[in-house]
Amino acid sequence: MQKAIIGKKVGMTQIFDESGKVIPVTVIEAGPCVVTQKKTMENDGYVSVQLGFQDVKESKLSKPEAGHLKKANVPFKKHLKEFKLDNAGELNVGDEVKVDTFQPGDKVDVIGTSKGHGFQGVVKRWNAGRTPMTHGGGPVHRHAGSMGSSSDPSRIFKGKIGAGQMGVEQVTIQNLDVVKVDAELNMLVIRGAIPGPKGGLVYVKSTVKNNKVKRGDAGISKNPQKASGRNPQKASARG
């Protein structure tokens, strides 16, 4: 079932599983979120819900934002996001979506905004090479260098690497495992790293990947006569 929630990144740590192996995890404070708007097939042509996260003063919102939440008769929320959920038709304005909507073992996609690194040159931003440091290279070792064309086309094509703003981009990490869910602390523990700094806003939703269950050793030949990576020659040919 398609599930989603809004949260903020707390940080990374590590936990141990039953066999004693270390699992690097990211802790997310997810929800509780309140349904601030509901889209229906009759009025909008599709079904979805808008979730609100993190309480905020009315003075911190614009008049359209405050009016939108007043009309729904819900607490003022700082962040709003629309999701198309399978159970959107069952939810109503004012209902809460909590972290226990997810369960350990669920596969999720996490959307966040990457860390900002300011204005950076091509060496750091695109891993470009520098010019030789000897024989009068001058103060241009880390510059982009000549990249223009001749009289035709007399311009630089779009997409050419160059200096500029680095980071602060929407990044989606797909197919991560939910390791632990704590309903009392609104805590969602996910295996691996997710984009953004500590305290950054993230959207967690069911993965769009189609995870198929593997059937054990299907496709692996147990014939000792068959050539393989470890046995490039058949047993019968070695004699």
More confident residue, 222 or 12: 12
Return the closest-CA partner of residue 96 out of 181, 183, 28. Answer: 183
Percent of the residues in the chain that have a pLDDT greater than 90, as a whole number:
44
**How far is residue 76's CA from residue 56's CA, in Å, rounded to a whole number?**
6
Question: What pLDDT, in 10s, does the model give residues 53-106?
Answer: 989 999 999 999 999 999 888 889 999 999 888 888 788 888 888 898 899 988
> Looking at residue 152, what is its pLDDT?
81
Cis, bond preceding 153 (omega within 30 deg of 0): yes
Mean pLDDT computed over 104-112? 92
- pTM for this entry: 0.79
**pLDDT score recorded for residue 181:** 92
β-strands 187-191, 22-30 pairing: antiparallel
Pick from 34-38, 97-101, 224-228: least confident = 224-228
Q: Which of 83-92, 186-195, 210-219 has the highest mean pLDDT?
A: 186-195
Average pLDDT estimate for 105-130: 93
Mean confidence (pLDDT) of the chain: 86
Per the document, the length of the chain is: 239
Instruction: Enumerate the β-bridge partners of residue 80.
Output: 52
Q: What phi, psi does 60 have (nearest 5°)?
A: -85, -5
Q: How far, in Å, CA of 174 to CA of 105, rounded? A: 14
pLDDT digits (tens, 9 = 90+) for 139-170: 889 998 888 777 788 888 888 899 999 999 99
What pLDDT was estimated at residue 200? 93
